[in-house]
């Protein structure tokens, strides 16, 4: 009977969701990527190569017109004189064509995306470059996709759709909110863009960066990132929409994925855009990084993500749809991998969270239902924020252990529980004192 009433309620809500969006304010600013603009959608992941050379920053010269990045042209933003010379020599030697380039300060590298010369295969070019001692890294430019398909003493919210949020209800988030709502925790979302004007999101977004292009309108129309952001930190008690798992947490948005021109093809990212996003997060105090996406293993991305993990960041990734974690980012040790409850069989160490028919925010100030392990990962990122607000020094291993130990059965399916995790953490703290 309860299931029938829920379905009837959903039907009534869906008939009115589009009419419930309030007046639209001015959009917050979105920072564009530094350096020359490039059409990342036109990059060829079946042929292009990522190449990296050493990029030691030259000391500042003592005469007018000098700077810390040498006399780099606009096409080599952030490149040292040594990196520029090395790249020029490699281009001359091998006849390669540079598509774009960018620095990765934390690794002391300058990377370019290049096209092999006509008549030479990518594999042959990679083999040649791997033998050149001037090359620090050479790998394929790879493609990544986002993972989406389309009665207790709890905190009572005035948000009209709160009771229709399957994940929020099943994980007992309202109970957990008596003790934590994620205040002071900074979460980085690497995904598509997000509707920066959405009334349930705009006050919780600290900053946004576009690592794909300069199209602000497209940034605000992107659905996947908007859905993930709503699950993590939609504002509570504002008389509209839904409530996030951690409604007082702060978000930083890094657009590294874009929607393909072909309808229904979903959102894609590549090694170039993801590397820029990961490097950008290193310059922030974000403790949690949500990666609701995935694809093949990637040496450059693995190096960047490993460094973020070494810095104590908590990285939450979505399980690939086929249930294997052999690629990026889910295969990297230390990453918290999350699958949708009732989906592919959980492997040891993997978490399960609600990921089917999840009501969340949509572009244009609206709300709708969506599914996928992307949404499951977002639930776990939100719970991690609740835990960090209580114990800021928790690391990823401890968060994962708490969530594993406090998971329970909901309708016969094992999944994370926000209230149980918060209770377990508080009990540990009391025992320690």
Tell me which of 48, 191, 195, 213 is the catalytic residue: 191
Whether 21 is covered by a domain: the verdict is no
pLDDT for 283 beyond 70: yes
What pLDDT was estimated at residue 1? Answer: 42
pLDDT for 71 beyond 50: no
Domain boundary (141, 169, 203) is at 141
What pLDDT was estimated at residue 295? Answer: 93
Is 191 an annotated catalytic residue? yes
Is 395 an annotated catalytic residue? no
Domain boundary (126, 141, 156) is at 141
User: pLDDT over 90 for what percent of the chain?
Assistant: 68
**CA angle (395 as vertex; 393, 399 as ends), nearest 5:** 110
Most confident range, picked from 27-31, 57-61, 174-178, 234-238: 174-178
Residue 343 belongs to domain with CATH number? 3.40.50.200
Burial 207-230 (b: 16+ CB within 10 A, else e): bbbbbbbeebebbbbbbbbbbbbb
- Give the global pTM: 0.86
Residue 88 belongs to domain with CATH number? 3.30.70
Range of the domain at 63: 45-141
Tell me which of 352, 374, 381, 406 is the catalytic residue: 374
Ranges assigned E (strand) in 192-294: 205-210, 250-255, 257-259, 267-270, 288-291, 293-294
Considering the domain architecture, whether residues 189 and 235 belong to the same structural domain is answered as: yes
What pLDDT was estimated at residue 353? Answer: 95
Rg, C-alpha atoms of the chain: 23
List pLDDT tens digits, range 353-372. Answer: 999 999 999 999 999 999 99
Average pLDDT for the chain? 85
pLDDT for 336 beyond 50: yes
What pLDDT was estimated at residue 266? Answer: 83
Give the residue-averaged pLDDT of 163-184: 91
Whether 222 is covered by a domain: the verdict is yes
What pLDDT was estimated at residue 68? Answer: 35
Residue 253 token pair: 């948005």
Tell me which of 177, 186, 198, 224 is the catalytic residue: 224
């Amino acid at each position: 009977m309860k299931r029938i009433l829920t379905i009837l309620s959903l039907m009534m809500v869906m008939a009115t969701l589009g009419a419930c969006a309030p007046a639209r304010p001015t959009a917050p600013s979105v920072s564009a990527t530094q350096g020359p603009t490039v059409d990342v959608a036109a990059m060829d992941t079946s042929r292009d190569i990522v190449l990296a050379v050493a990029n030691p920053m030259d000391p500042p010269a003592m005469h007018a017109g000098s700077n810390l990045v040498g006399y780099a042209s606009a096409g080599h933003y952030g490149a040292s004189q040594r990196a520029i010379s090395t790249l020029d020599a490699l281009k001359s030697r091998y006849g390669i064509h540079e598509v774009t380039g960018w620095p990765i300060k934390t690794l002391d590298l300058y990377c370019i995306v290049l096209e092999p010369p006509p008549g030479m295969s990518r594999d042959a070019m990679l083999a040649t470059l791997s033998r050149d001692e001037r090359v620090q890294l050479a790998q394929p430019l790879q493609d990544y996709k986002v993972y989406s398909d389309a009665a207790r003493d709890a905190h009572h919210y005035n948000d009209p759709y709160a009771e229709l949020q399957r994940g929020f209800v099943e994980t007992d988030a309202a109970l957990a909110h008596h003790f934590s709502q994620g205040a002071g925790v900074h979460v980085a979302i690497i995904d598509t863009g997000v509707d920066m004007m959405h009334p349930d999101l705009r006050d919780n977004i600290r900053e946004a960066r576009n690592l794909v292009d300069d199209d602000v309108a497209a940034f605000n129309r992107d659905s996947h990132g908007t859905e993930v952001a709503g699950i993590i930190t939609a504002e509570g008690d504002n008389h509209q929409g839904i409530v996030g798992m951690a409604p007082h947490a702060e978000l930083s948005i890094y657009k590294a994925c874009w929607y393909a021109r072909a309808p229904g093809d979903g959102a894609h990212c590549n090694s170039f855009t993801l590397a820029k996003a990961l490097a950008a997060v290193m310059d922030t105090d974000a403790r949690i990084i949500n990666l609701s996406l995935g694809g093949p293993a990637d040496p450059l991305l693995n190096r960047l993500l490993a460094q973020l993990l070494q810095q104590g960041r908590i990285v939450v990734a979505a399980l690939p749809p086929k249930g294997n974690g052999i690629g990026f980012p889910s295969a990297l040790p230390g990453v918290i991998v999350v699958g949708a409850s009732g989906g592919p069989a959980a492997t040891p160490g993997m978490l399960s969270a609600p990921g089917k028919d999840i009501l969340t925010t949509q572009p244009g100030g609206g709300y709708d239902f969506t599914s996928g392990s992307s949404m499951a990962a977002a639930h776990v990122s939100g719970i991690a924020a609740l835990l960090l607000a209580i114990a800021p020094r928790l690391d990823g291993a401890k968060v994962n252990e708490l969530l594993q130990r406090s998971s329970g059965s909901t309708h016969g399916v094992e999944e994370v529980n926000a209230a149980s995790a918060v209770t377990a953490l508080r009990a540990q703290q009391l025992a320690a004192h």
